[in-house]
Amino acid sequence: MKHYLIIPILVTSMGLPQELDESLTLEKKSVMILPASQDKHKNVADKITSIVAEAATSIGRFEVIDRNLVEEILEEQAFQMSGMVSDDQIVELGELAAAEEALIIDIIHFGQKGVPKEKDDKKKRDEEEDKDETLFSWVVKKTVTAAIDNTNSEKEKRKLELENNIHTVINATVRLVNVEIGISEGSFNLNASFTGGNRDASLEKALQYIAFQIKGELKELYTITSEVMDVDGNMISILSGENLGLQKGDYFEISSKDKQKTYKGKTVTLPGKSRGLALITEVGPDASKAKIIRKWRKVKEGHKAYEILKNISVAEWKFSYGQTPHYDLTGRLLLNPFRSFSGSLNGHIGLVQDSRNDLDLYLGFGGTMDFTLLSRFGTTVSTAFDLPFCLVFTEDDDDHVVHGLLVMPAIGLNFGVQIGKHRDLLFSISHVLATNNLAWTYTAKTGEEDEDGNDKTEQKPAVWIDNKPTINASGLIFSISLRRYWF
C-alpha cells in the first residue's frame, strides 16, 4: 500500500507592478503541510511532515501555514482524507484551499528489521580454522555448539542482539503537481537507510538523511530568479534578499533577458545569453549586493540573475620546470576559489635529478595557500605558498628499488588570464626554499608470516658503494597552468 504526504502550495497575489517581469521571484510562497493519510505509518508520516515544515521554513522562501489552521480548514469543509489520495482528490483539495500547486510525497517503502551484527576478526579466524579440522572433531564441535545455541539464554541473547541492531529503510518519491489540471511538473526521490541501535534510534538516523535531502531538493523545485538593479564596476545589486533566504556566499549566473520571437505564427521564447558569475557579498531585507567574479559578456541593468544551487568545482593542471633539472605535473582541486584567501589539495608526479645525475621519479601530495593581491575583469594576481610531500624512487647499487621522502616548500607569484567562460590560463614563478630527503630505504621480506598468512616485511637501508645520492631542488621554478570551472 502506498502512502501520500500532501503539501499544497498557496500562491499569494504578488501585486506586481507592470514594469516588473512576472517571472521574477519576489515573495515567499505560502505552504500548507498535511500528514500522510494512512494510519499504518502515521508516526513516520508525522515525523516527515515536521521535517518538511522545518526545511521549508529554514530555506527562507516558503511561508509555512500553521498546522492547526490547516486542520481547521479541512474540518470546516468536511474533507475526509482516508485511503489512497488520487490526483483528482489533489485537484479537489487545491480548489478548497485556493492552492495552485501541491507536493505529493509517495512513501514507496518503509521497513524495519533486526539484522545480525558482523562477526569480529576473531570469529572469522575461528571459522577459517574449522576448515583445517578433521571431520570427526568438526562434527563434535558443531554438535556441542548447537546444543549450547539451543538454550534459552542463547536465544534471548540473539533476540536482544537483533533488537539492538535494527535496519531501517525509507524510500519515497516526491512529485510537484499543478492542482488546477492535475499534471506532474517535476519530481525527485528520497532514499535513506541505516543499521544500528534500537527501532527509535535507527529510525531517527534514517530521518536525518531524509532531512538532509529535502532541503536541497525543495530549493531545486523553487530556485530564485532575480534581476540586476544597477551595475557599479564589478559590483551589482539584485532584487532579492533576506525575504527569500539569500545568504552571503550564494552564487548567481547573470544572463540577458529572454527574447520572444514569432515563427510560423507561433510565439516562442529564446533564452538570453549567459554573461557572468556573481557572488553575494551583502544581503539586505529585499535586495542584495554581489561581486562579479567572472564575466565573459557585458553585464547591464535589467539582466536576469539565476540562482546556482550546485557546488562550483574548480580544478587545475599545472606543468612546472626547474633548472636542476626538475619536471613536475600537478593536479589541483581548489577550495574557496573566489575568496581572497583560498587553498587547494594537490597531487604531484615528476622527475628530479639527483647528485649522481640520474632522473628520479617521485609521487606526492600536498596543499597550497593562495592570497589574491589583485582581481580585475579577466586578470588575477596572487601569491602562493606550496608544501608538497613526495616519495622519490631510484635504485641503489645492489639493484634494490629504494625510496626516500622529499619535502619542497615554495613561495610563488601567479598571474591568471581568463580565456573563456570556464577556463583560465595561469603563469607562475616560484622559489623552492629548501629540500630534505630522508635516508634511502627499501622494503624486504623477513621470512616470517603474519596472522593472515602474509609475508612480513621491514624497511632496510639502501646499499651504496659510493656516496649515496642527494637531491637539491631548491631554486626557481617556472609553471604554466590550465584552470577549469564547472558551474
- The answer for residues whose C-beta is within 8 angstroms of residue 121's C-beta and 6 or more apart is none
Contact in structure between 253 and 305 (CB atoms under 8 Å): yes
* Burial category of 229 from C-beta neighbours within 10 Å (exposed 0-12, middle 13-18, buried 19 and up): middle
One DSSP character per residue, 336-362 reads: STTSSEEEEEEEEEEEEE-TTS-EEEE
- CA 138 to chain CA centroid, Å, is 51
Long-range Cβ contacts of 359-365 (<8 Å, 24+ apart): 359/325, 360/392, 360/393, 360/394, 360/469, 360/471, 361/392, 361/393, 361/394, 362/390, 362/391, 362/392, 362/393, 362/406, 363/390, 363/391, 363/393, 364/388, 364/389, 364/390, 364/391, 364/406, 365/389
* Pick among 3.40.50.10610, 3.40.50.2300, 3.40.50.1980, 3.65.10.10: CATH of 3-113+166-221: 3.40.50.10610
Q: Which fold has domain 313-486?
A: Porin (2.40.160)
3-state DSSP assignment of residue 175: strand
**Superfamily classification of domain 225-308:** FlgT, C-terminal domain (2.40.10.410)
pLDDT at position 455 is 82
Kind and range of the H or E element at 374?
A: strand 359-376
Helices first, then strands: H and E counts in the chain: 7, 26
Residue 185 burial (CB count, 10 A): 11
Residue 228, beta-bridge partner list = 238
Q: Which of 74, 486, 49 is nearest to 251 (CA)?
A: 486
Taking only the tens place, the pLDDT of each residue in 254-310 is 999 988 888 888 989 888 999 999 999 999 999 999 999 999 999 999 999 999 998
Q: Report CA-CA distances (Å) from 163 to 152, 192, 199, 362.
A: 16, 20, 8, 52
Global pTM value: 0.77
Q: Do domains 225-308 and 313-486 have the same CATH topology?
A: no
Residue 412's alpha-carbon distances to 257, 316, 445, 479, in angstroms, are: 42, 16, 43, 10
Which segments in the chain show pLDDT lower than 50? 1-18, 81-84
Q: How far is Cα 263 from Cα 268, in angstroms, rounded to an integer? A: 7
| CA dist., res. 417 & res. 480, Å (int) | 11
Cα gap 273→258, rounded to integer Å? 8
- Ordered alpha helix ranges (H), 116-195: 121-130, 135-149, 152-163
CA–chain centroid gap for 360, Å, is: 38
Radius of gyration of the chain (CA): 32
Residue 164's nearest CA partner among 114, 206, 128 is 114
What spatial distance separates the first Cα and last Cα of the chain, rounded to whole Å? Answer: 41
Report the C-alpha gap between 94 and 101 in whole angstroms.
7
Beta-strand relationship, 62-64 and 29-31: parallel
Q: Which residue has the cell 581568463?
A: 418
Domain ranges for the chain: 3-113+166-221, 225-308, 313-486
Q: Pick from 309, 40, 3: which is nearest to 173 by CA?
A: 3
pLDDT at residue 311, rounded to an integer: 85
**3-class SS letters over 408-461:** CCEEEEEEEEECCCCEEEEEEEEEECCCEECCCEEEEEEEEECCCCCEEEEEEE
Predicted local distance difference test score (pLDDT) of residue 11: 40
Interhelix angle for 199-221 vs 42-58, to 10°?
A: 40
**Cell digits of residue 95:** 480548489
User: What does the alpha-carbon distance between residue 216 and residue 149 come to, in Å, rounded to a whole number?
Assistant: 49
Helix, strand, coil percentages (3-state) for the chain, rounded to 5, are 20, 45, 30
Per-residue DSSP letter, 264:
T
